[in-house]
Amino acid sequence: MVTVNRNYLKLPGSYLFSTIAGKVSTFQKENPEARILRLGIGDVTQPLAPAIIESLHRSVDEMAHQETFRGYAPDLGYEFLRDAIAKNDYKDRGCNISADEIFISDGAKSDSGNIQEIFGADNKVAVCDPVYPVYVDTNVMAGRTGAYNKEKENFDGVIYMPCLESNGFLPEIPEEVPDLIYLCFPNNPSGAAITKEKLQEWVDYANRTGAVIIYDAAYEAYITETDIPHSIYECNGARTCAIELRSFSKNAGFTGVRLGFTVIPRELVRDGVSLHRLWARRHGTKFNGAPYIVQRAGEAVYSQEGKKQLREQVAYYMRNAHYIYSELKKAGYSVSGGVNAPYIWLKTPDQMSSWEFFDHLLRNAHVVGTPGSGFGAHGEGFFRLTAFGSYETTQEAIHRITQI
Ligand code: MLT
C-alpha cells in the first residue's frame, strides 16, 4: 500500500501567502466594486530595467540561430554569471569567495527550502520568531521537527529565537545549542538589520559550537546604513560555518523571471564531509540549471548600466518605505524596519490580533498586508507592509489606512 510523507500533515492550513491570496480573492468576489491595494506579499511591481531587457532580447536571438543556440546549462551555472557574482558581490566587498563556490539556481525560495536536504534528519534547527515560513515548513516536511503545538502556535523540537521589540527584533543566542541556524538579514518580515559586529558574534558562536548558519541575504540591496554587512562573508571565519543564499528577485525584479544563488565555501566541512560537495551532488542530480537567457539577464545586473538602473529601482522602493514609515508614525503607529529593508513592521492598534487587523484593513480600507502571526507566534500583534508597490498605490494605501 502506498503511504505518504505524513510529516506534511503536521503543517496547519496552507502556505501563508496562499492563505492570504485565498482570503483576498473571496473578498473581491463578494465586493466586486472594491479596488484592492496590495501591500502584502513582497512582490515587485516595477518593470525589468532596460539593461536586463536588452540582454534578454540578445540572448533570445542567440537561441534562434544554430551557431549560438544553447541546450542544457552547466549544472552549477554558467561561468560568465558565477564570475560576475564573485567579483561584484564578493571580491569588491572584500570577501574571499571564488566563482566555483557559487551555485546558480532558480531562486532563493527553492534554495532556502532545499538546502536542509543535505543535512541529517536529527539536526536541531534554530529559527528567528517571526520568520520567513519556508525555513520551518521545509524542515517540518523533512521530519526534522515534532508535531505542531496548538497552544504555543509553533512546532515541537524547533528552537525559536524570539525577535521582539525589546531586543530590536534581533535574535539572541539560544540556551540550547542548535545544529542549523537560519538567519535572514535584512530581515523578512521585520525589516530589522544586523550590524557586522553582532553578526560576527553569531559566526564566532557557530565556529565554536560546530553549528552551520544558513544566511539569507535576499534583501541586501536595500541596505542604506554603513555598519550593516551585505554578506556574512564580511565576518571573519564565516567560510568555515556559513552558507549564504542570494536572490535576484528583490534587487533586480526577477520574481517572475527566477534566478538566485547559494554560496558554499570549500572549507565548510561537517561530519567529515564537504557541504560544497553534497550541494553540488544534489544540484547535479535534481536540477538542470537556470535557463541560459535568464542567466544572461542576471549577468546584465552587474553591467555598469544595469547597476545604475537597479540603484534607481531600489531607491524608488525605498522612497515608498520611507513614506509608509513616516506617515504611519505621524498617525501614531508604532513602526520599525523600512531603513535597510523594503518591509515596514508595525504594531497593530487597539490590541487587535494580527489577523483581526488584516480583516479590518481589507474590509474597511481595501488594503492587503501580511499578519505578523503568519510568520510565527512572536509576530502576533504585528503587521507587515511592503514597499514594493508603485509610489501612487503606496500613497493611496497609507492614506486609506490612516483615515479609517
Ligand atoms: C514575502 O512576501 O515574504 C516574500 O515575497 C516571499 C518570498 O520572497 O518568497
Say which CATH number the domain at 223 has. Answer: 3.40.640.10
Q: How far is the CA of 161 from the centre of ligand 1 (A)?
A: 20
Which long-range contacts (C-beta less than 8 Å, at least 24 apart) are formed by 173-177? 173/201, 173/202, 173/205, 174/126, 176/124, 177/124, 177/209, 177/211
Q: Which grid coordinates belong to 357?
A: 487587523
Is the domain of 300 the same as that of 168? yes
**Who's near 358: CB < 8 A, 6+ residues apart?**
20, 23, 368, 369, 370, 371, 383
Q: Which CATH number do you get for residue 314?
A: 3.90.1150.10
Q: How far is the CA of 289 from the centre of ligand 1 (A)?
A: 22
Q: Would 187 be classed as within a structural domain?
A: yes
Helix (H, G, I), strand (E, B) or coil at 99: helix
Q: Would 1 be classed as within a structural domain?
A: no
Q: How far is the CA of 316 from the centre of ligand 1 (A)?
A: 19
Is 354 annotated in a binding site? The answer is no
Whether the CB-CB separation of 5 and 351 falls below 8 Å is answered with no
Is the domain of 111 the same as that of 20? no
Domain endpoint, select from 304, 326, 359? 304
Whether the CB-CB separation of 354 and 383 falls below 8 Å is answered with yes
Beta bridge partner(s), residue 345: 336, 384
Is the domain of 351 the same as that of 295? no
Q: How far is the CA of 397 from the centre of ligand 1 (A)?
A: 20
Is 15 annotated in a binding site? The answer is yes
Domain endpoint, select from 278, 304, 330? 304
Is the domain of 193 the same as that of 329? no
Is the domain of 349 the same as that of 374? yes
Q: Does 42 sit in the ligand 1 pocket, CB within 6 Å?
A: yes
Please give the Cα distance from 281 to 283 (Å, whole number): 6
Residue nearest to atom 3 of ligand 1 (CA): 42
Q: Which grid coordinates belong to 397?
A: 494605501
Is the domain of 242 the same as that of 360? no
Q: What is the pLDDT of residue 205?
A: 98
Whether the CB-CB separation of 382 and 169 falls below 8 Å is answered with no
Widest CA span of the chain, in angstroms?
A: 66
Q: Does 188 sit in the ligand 1 pocket, CB within 6 Å?
A: yes
Q: Which grid coordinates belong to 170?
A: 534581533
Q: Which grid coordinates belong to 150?
A: 496548538
What domain count does the chain have?
A: 2
Helices 354-365 and 16-30: crossing angle in degrees, nearest 10, is 30
Is 42 annotated in a binding site? The answer is yes
Is the domain of 11 the same as that of 148? no
Is 8 annotated in a binding site? The answer is no
Domain span holding position 321: 6-48+307-403
Whether the CB-CB separation of 343 and 315 falls below 8 Å is answered with no
Is the domain of 99 the same as that of 64? yes
User: Residue-wise pLDDT tens for the chain (404 aa)?
Assistant: 999 999 999 998 888 999 999 999 999 999 999 999 999 999 999 999 999 999 999 999 999 999 999 999 998 999 999 999 999 999 999 999 999 999 999 999 999 999 999 999 999 999 999 999 999 999 999 999 999 999 999 999 999 999 999 999 999 999 999 999 999 999 999 999 999 999 999 999 999 999 999 999 999 999 999 999 999 999 999 999 999 999 999 999 999 999 999 999 999 999 999 999 999 999 999 999 999 999 999 999 999 999 999 999 999 999 999 999 999 999 999 999 999 999 999 999 999 999 999 999 999 999 999 999 999 999 999 999 999 999 999 999 999 999 99
Residue nearest to atom 6 of ligand 1 (CA): 42
Q: What is the pLDDT of residue 12?
A: 87
Please give the Cα distance from 337 to 322 (Å, whole number): 10
Is 157 annotated in a binding site? The answer is no
Could you check whether the bond before residue 171 is cis, i.e. omega within 30 degrees of 0?
A: no
Domain endpoint, select from 245, 276, 304? 304
| pTM recorded for the entire structure | 0.97
Cβ burial of 258 (10 Å; 0-12, 13-18, 19+) is: middle
Is the domain of 330 the same as that of 226? no
Is 233 annotated in a binding site? The answer is no
Is 391 annotated in a binding site? The answer is no
Whether the CB-CB separation of 160 and 196 falls below 8 Å is answered with no
Q: How far is the CA of 273 from the centre of ligand 1 (A)?
A: 32
Is the domain of 272 the same as that of 325? no
Q: Would 34 be classed as within a structural domain?
A: yes
Q: What is the pLDDT of residue 333?
A: 97
The dihedrals phi and psi of 233, each to the nearest 5 degrees, come to -75, 0
Please give the Cα distance from 217 to 201 (Å, whole number): 17
Is the domain of 83 the same as that of 29? no
Q: Does 109 sit in the ligand 1 pocket, CB within 6 Å?
A: yes
Q: Would 147 be classed as within a structural domain?
A: yes
Q: How far is the CA of 42 from the centre of ligand 1 (A)?
A: 5
Is the domain of 62 the same as that of 160? yes
Ligand 1 pocket test, candidate residues 188, 250, 344, most atoms within 8 A of CB: 188
Residue nearest to atom 4 of ligand 1 (CA): 42
Beta bridge partner(s), residue 155: 148
